[in-house]
Structure 1
């Protein structure tokens, strides 16, 4: 796994767009470029990417994106695991686990409380993956959203 830097952006954009389409939105490569460019330039997220090959032949197969946050109750930093995506060709081959391990290593290296995530209730495959890595589903709190 490699931590994404701005120079990796062109390799990440199609994968990020594929991820968004997976969640039912219309493809928007220009929007993906602008969004990811801003996150990296402003140091607002940490992204790890799974790549294979060298030079021009390098291909991205999956990524994980973390956003920094804080817990007021524990008064500690934490990371929001916002995005995890592996291309359909490589699902079930351990790539998601490797990406999760990169996120865990980053959270430990940055002395944070841990990682928090939300996933769709129907995404049973992702739930199994998270639980296999020690994530515990929260049955004590409800999630509410107010979107504009």
Structure 2
């Protein structure tokens, strides 16, 4: 039996998601701000702006990891694209295929919603995540140069 269950998260999972999201931000060098994190996550639910997946340890009920996807669209193909913007596994649960389960759940959801693709980005230094993404079939895109404008 799998020790971890991954499912689409609901507003009732806000406490679990907020805790993991705060850890995720700390991982990327941000200062902990649990109140702001809770408000940010709650707002995504309130405005129906993203899809969260949550992995829970089946015996202890502890939150092990989460991912978040935002919708986008390909105008040329007239299809949905999902941006897998966030994926985080609590370090206590790394090495247990939690990240893989979160990626699988995202893929299943993208297929169900008839999306063209899932896009994601990670830090150049996040070698373990890159290995997982490649293992799950993600490839580095050479088709486009990605630019950003910080405001």
Bin for the TM-score computed over the shorter chain:
over 0.9
- The alignment status of 1:88 with 2:91, answered yes or no, reads yes
Once the two structures are superposed, residues 39-72 of structure 1 have per-residue CA deviations (whole angstroms, 9 ceiling, x without a partner) of 0111100001001247xx5210100100000012
- The alignment status of 1:50 with 2:55, answered yes or no, reads yes
The alignment of Structure 1 onto Structure 2 pairs a total of residues equal to 146
Within the candidate set 106, 109, 131, 1:103 is matched to: 106
CA apart distance, 1:139: 2.2
- The alignment status of 1:16 with 2:21, answered yes or no, reads yes
1:1-148 mapped onto 2 (5 Å cutoff): 1-53=6-58, 58-148=61-151
Gaps of 5+ in 2: 1-5
CA apart distance, 1:140: 3.2
Q: Quick one: distance in 2 between partners of 1:42 and 1:27?
A: 24
Gaps of 5+ in 1: none
Could you state the TM-score of these two structures normalised by the residue count of structure 2? 0.92
Could you state the TM-score of these two structures normalised by the residue count of structure 1? 0.94
Aligned-residue CA RMSD (Å): 1.2
Q: Quick one: distance in 1 between partners of 2:37 and 2:133?
A: 26
